Structure 1
Amino acid sequence: MFLIPSEQKSKLQQQWSDLIQELAGSQKQSKEVWAIIERYYSEPHRSYHNLSHIQALLRHAETVKGLVQYYPALALSIWFHDLVYDTRVNDNERKSSALAAQLLMHLEIDSNIILHVQQCILATARHEIPQRGTVAADLPLFLDLDMAIFGSAPDVYQQYSRAMRNEYRWLEAPLYRAGRIKVLKRFAEREHLFFHPAMAAQYDTQARANLAWEIKKLTFF
């Protein structure tokens, strides 16, 4: 499945440390929070939503850095958005947002950045831009980065599809197929899968092909 070797984990830890230093956060608390991050993302039931997912999003973010208005807040959103991940419940986003706020306050991060991060995390519940209030500057791009796996090469997407099934291995096959098809169709029926034009140009065509493939696979298993 999606895993990273120990040397890449060390590189991720350094990226985390550098980010907190850039934000003038507490370096002492930075190590403590890293240990929490590593523990959550290393939970055994995670086949996709683990540190490899964070690594992939950070790499994607680097490639589109010219589109980002405030990179540190975007990076924090990536680090914390799947911190709490339990496929048996439906409030992971709310719990991740709350825990992110707690840890970021512990790191002495500016409150406005914390609010930005929380809004990005909560938006992943349905991968939609909030219709009310002020929208965090990089929220649409953040959602696109999280969706980039949909537009990956077919072999990578098929690996992702298997990893998702493994994360729901406790769920009987007919129930999983029905639920997964419902989610995939909700995305496939959108007029715009990606919010930023550059991301749409890069990923939309392949994403729709991948969605169609998985829906067909689950329908005619």
Structure 2
Amino acid sequence: MGAMADLDALRVRFARALEAARAPAGGPDPAPYADNLLARWQEPQRRYHTVAHLTAVLDHVDALERYAADPDVVRLAAWFHDAVYLPERSENEERSARLAERALPEAGVPEPKAAEVARLVRLTVTHDPAGDDRDGQVLCDADLAVLAAPPSAYAVYTAEVREEYHFVPSDAFREGRSAILRQLLALPRLFHTPYGQRHWEATARYNLASELEMLSTRAAGPS
């Protein structure tokens, strides 16, 4: 019952964002588009990139709404940003962006707004928006907010990521994950909105550094 209610609430959220982004003439029923996206977010290969992640990103976009130029375009980008997700593939963001470029104009969204949604989706490859890219900053901060989770929730996140990459040998996973953590820690800042910098930056850096240390310890083995 709870899960069904959650999905119904997500359908309402999608419909609101879509209606706000549409041209004045409107468009077809939003429900099939929402259902298609929700089916994607519930695919069996997902452990972290699930409906729970989608909901969290949407919640964070709501919290950061005041920093966005077009919050509803950002919300649509949140819906599409991991809509295509196969852990063994490297072009998920590009395929997700192309899905947005196909689906949104059909759903009544003007081409320029659909293109902006796709641009934002592609930005989640690097999470490095320009200084004047308000919508990009909001989406990237919302997507990376999990890095600032409390320790127990961060541990769940890292475990779910590992489950998604279950087919990767342990040594290779540690090496790849460590490289990602180092890249993130090398960024001048992880978060770009004032809220993200104030409330998430320090905790996220602590979590990343702690995970990197743990992975390094495992790689070294017992002393």
TM-score, normalised on structure 2?
Answer: 0.90
1:173 to 166, 170, 173: 170
Query: Offset at 1:144?
Result: 1.1
Aligned match of 1:42: 42
Distance 2:149 2:95 in 1: 29
Aligned match of 1:26: 27
Query: Offset at 1:137?
Result: 4.0
Distance 2:134 2:209 in 1: 31
Deviations 1:29-87 (A, max 9, x none): x1221121011111111111111111001111112222222111010110100011111
Aligned match of 2:116: 116
Aligned match of 1:72: 72
User: Where do residues 45-194 of structure 1 align in structure 2 (5 Å cutoff)?
Assistant: 45-129=45-129, 137-194=134-191
Distance 1:22 1:119 in 2: 19
Distance 1:209 1:6 in 2: 36
TM-score, normalised on structure 1?
Answer: 0.91
Aligned match of 2:6: 8
Deviations 1:125-171 (A, max 9, x none): 1212269xxx7541122111111111111111111000100110111
- Give SS of 1:129's match: coil
Percent identity, aligned pairs only, is 24
Q: CA RMSD in A?
A: 1.6
Aligned match of 1:220: 217
Distance 2:189 2:17 in 1: 32
CA contact (8 A) 2:58 2:78 kept: yes
Query: How many residue pairs were aligned?
Result: 214
Q: Which runs of 5+ in 1 are unaligned?
A: none
Distance 1:137 1:144 in 2: 11
Distance 1:151 1:137 in 2: 21
CA contact (8 A) 1:151 1:207 kept: yes
Query: Offset at 1:116?
Result: 1.1
